[in-house]
Amino acid sequence: MIARALAQTPHLMVLDEITAFLDLPSRVEIMALLRAQAREKRQIVLLSSHDLDLSLQLADSVWLLDGAGGFSVGTPDALSGSGAVGRAFDTEEIRFSASLGRFEIGMSGSE
Question: Quick one: pLDDT at residue 108?
Answer: 55
Beta bridge partners of 102: 97
Q: What is the mean pLDDT of the chain?
A: 87
pTM of the model: 0.76
Q: Which phi and psi (to 5°) does residue 80 adopt?
A: -65, -50
Question: What residue type is 29 in one-letter code?
Answer: E
> What does the alpha-carbon distance between residue 65 and residue 34 come to, in Å, rounded to a whole number?
22
pLDDT(43) > 60: yes
The answer, yes or no, to whether residue 12 has pLDDT greater than 90, is yes
Residue ranges of the domains in the chain?
1-51, 61-100
Better pLDDT: 67 or 99: 99
89, 96 contact by CB (below 8 A): yes
